[in-house]
Chains A and B, each alone.
Chain A
């Protein structure tokens, strides 16, 4: 059934800081970077920062892994006179796409008029995600996981990737292609962290961190901030930029996914999936669309193997066929035609988190908006629909379809 709020709200402003290698944003503070992203997003939208009266966060309003946003502190910093909506999705980066849906909930309930979604990350040495679980004292639940030495997200993800290889014959060649395609897309992007072409030999020479995943299968560790402004379609008409309509949005997941790799109890086929099947079914039902209707896909790429698993969950290819789909070149953007290679739908033409920058999924929303405006660096021709996904992670995970005006 068509979603009753389809196209009734839109992203009207986007803003980002420079992207820094892990820790290099210091001595900037989290609120300094978040403030820059928010002010730029307001400028982009053609509104005053003082018009913002809603905050729709994800990851429990965390700012990276140890910092936390406080709405009152952001108001003191940026000068809004009041706020009438301040809420967050739970858990982590799985909710990034769904935060825009949360903004829509605030707008459609007439709680607020302009909602901002922001993430700022600063991975100083005491706040590295890669070691975050190792630094935690095991609680009673993860005492069933951490003693095995699965201390980082990459360790956890590698266990899922191996099961996928076992069930479907998935190869390391496909992981190489995912990383090489991402790198190819980042080459002409001035802000991207990794901009040099990557060969298969260089990929294979990358150190194995958690077999079957190599260092290059892990996303970047970067600092920076990204913010987006969401408002109603009526107000969007008065904004500076062409709106990117919120066509469908969902968050959640099934219990079969649940705590996911914090649990390792998922049945097949969920175990080696991305856990996105539930939200994928919801957004396709909300919109009447399917994967083949998308013009561009911004797929959360914290680990290369999870790009493959998401393409299967969303139906870009059948389950278990991601290997052949990707090896046929279908992730790649073809600058000559402005479309995908070999009939594919371009995936992460901004280079994604593997090559451009990792701001916990926010760069994917930013890229989707630029694609729908027609202002992206690797612009997809006639771009009408963009899919944005949140990170495969413990519940919630999330999904967003944006439509061009």
Chain B
């Protein structure tokens, strides 16, 4: 609903500028990502998903967790279009996207979206995970448009 700007191809931010940190609650997610396996934190008692991973299930207070392998697909819930690399202020078109993951009870992941021009992206697009190597040997899930139409 805004004036259309021709941004061109949306790129993933360079992995060498991206850091994360983990704790014992979140580490299984990132260890799976190192193996290019997308998971999400699921309560082993009641089955409810939650992200980011946390100590207790907010539904039933259980601490038991499963880390199921997800299909790695989902759809765009919302996004922004940015045009400066936050690390250095240089021109760089990237699209931070909130993706609703398939087979994970509606939980979401935030990443970058690539695979078409930024101005052609829209809410509801189908996406699949694309892995980006980042600092300290970690791997970050980003997303690629599967059906640019």
Q: Which residues of A contact B (CB under 8 A)?
A: 134, 137-141, 143-145, 147-151, 155, 158-160, 162-163, 165-166, 169-172, 204, 208-213, 255, 264-265, 267, 271-272
Residue of A nearest to B97 (CB): A148
Give the most central of B51, B96, B106, B109: most A CB within 10 Å.
Answer: B96
Q: Nearest chain-A residue to B20 (Cβ)?
A: A143
Partner of A169, one of B1, B5, B118: B1
Residues on the A chain within 8 Å of B109, using CB:
144
**B70 at the A/B interface (Cβ < 8 Å)?**
no
Size category, B interface:
35 or more
Q: A140-B23, A171-B1 are in contact. Are A150 and B110 (CB under 8 A)?
A: yes
Interface class of chain B by DSSP: loop
B140 to A, closest residue via Cβ? A147
Is B26 engaged at the interface, CB distance under 8 Å to the other chain?
Answer: yes
Which residue of the partner chain, among B58, B80, B110, contacts A211 with CB atoms under 8 Å? B80
B81 at the interface (CB under 8 A from A): yes
Minimum C-beta distance from A344 to chain B (A): 22
A51 to chain B, nearest CB (A): 46
Contact yes or no, B22 A147, CB < 8 A:
no
- B26, B77, B78, B123 — which one has the most chain A CB atoms within 10 A of its CB? B78
Counting chain A CB atoms within 10 Å of each CB, the highest count among B13, B82, B109 belongs to B82
Additional A-B contacts beyond A137-B19, A143-B52, A166-B123 (6; CB < 8 A):
A141-B26, A148-B112, A149-B85, A155-B80, A169-B1, A212-B80
B20 and A138 form a contact (CB under 8 A)? yes
Known: A144-B109, A163-B123. A210 touches B26 (CB 8 A): no
Hey, which chain B residues are within 8 Å of A212, CB to CB? 1-2, 80
Q: Which residue of B lies closest to A154 (CB)?
A: B80
B22 contact from A140, A145, A267, Cβ within 8 A: A140
**How far, in Å, is B82 (CB) from chain A's closest CB?**
6
Question: Mind listing 8 A-B residue pairs with CB under 8 Å?
Answer: A140-B52, A141-B26, A143-B26, A147-B111, A163-B78, A204-B3, A210-B82, A265-B51
Residue in B2, B20, B22, B123 with the greatest tally of chain A CB atoms within 10 Å: B2
Decide if B96 touches A149 in the complex (CB within 8 Å).
yes
B116 interface residue, CB < 8 Å from A? Answer: no
- On chain B, the residues within 8 Å of A166 by CB distance are 78, 123
* A172-B3 in contact given A141-B52, A210-B80 (Cβ < 8 Å): yes
Are B5 and A159 in contact (CB-based, < 8 A)?
Answer: no
Nearest to A213 among chain B residues (CB) is B80
Which residue of chain A has its CB nearest to the CB of B78? Answer: A163
Nearest chain B residue, comparing its CB with the CB of A131: B86
Report the bound CA distance from A166 to B78 in whole Å.
9
| Complex Cα gap A58–B25 (Å) | 30
B2 in contact with A211 (CB, 8 Å): yes
Closest Cβ neighbor of B24 among chain A residues = A140
B32 at the interface (CB under 8 A from A): no
List of B residues within 8 angstroms of A208 by Cβ: 2, 5, 81, 83
A151–B110 alpha-carbon span in the complex (Å): 12
- Bound-complex Cα distance A271 to B123 (A): 14
**Residue of chain B at shortest CB distance from A265:** B108
Q: Residues 23-62 of chain B: 1 if any A CB is under 8 Å from the residue's CB, otherwise 0?
A: 1011000000000000000000000000110000010000
| Alpha-carbon gap, A280 to B82, bound state (A) | 33
Q: How far is the CB of B99 from chain A (nearest CB, A)?
A: 10
**Contact status B21-A140, CB under 8 Å:** yes
The answer for the CA separation of A141 and B21 in the assembled complex, in Å, is: 8
Does B26 contact A150, Cβ atoms closer than 8 Å? Answer: no
- In the bound complex, residues from chain A placing their C-beta under 8 Å from that of B13 are 147-149
| Cα separation A150 to B96 with both chains bound (whole Å) | 7
- Which residues on A sit within 8 Å (CB–CB) of B5? 208, 211
> CB within 8 A of A162: which of B51, B80, B108?
B80
**Given that A149-B94, A208-B83, A271-B78 are known contacts, is A137 also in contact with B111, CB under 8 Å in the complex?**
no
Nearest-CB residue, chain B, relative to A208: B5
Chain B residues within an 8 Å CB radius of A149: 13, 82, 85-86, 94, 96, 112
Partner of B78, one of A134, A159, A255: A159
Q: Is B67 an interface residue (CB 8 A)?
A: no
Q: How far is the CA of A271 from the CA of B3 in the complex (A)?
A: 23
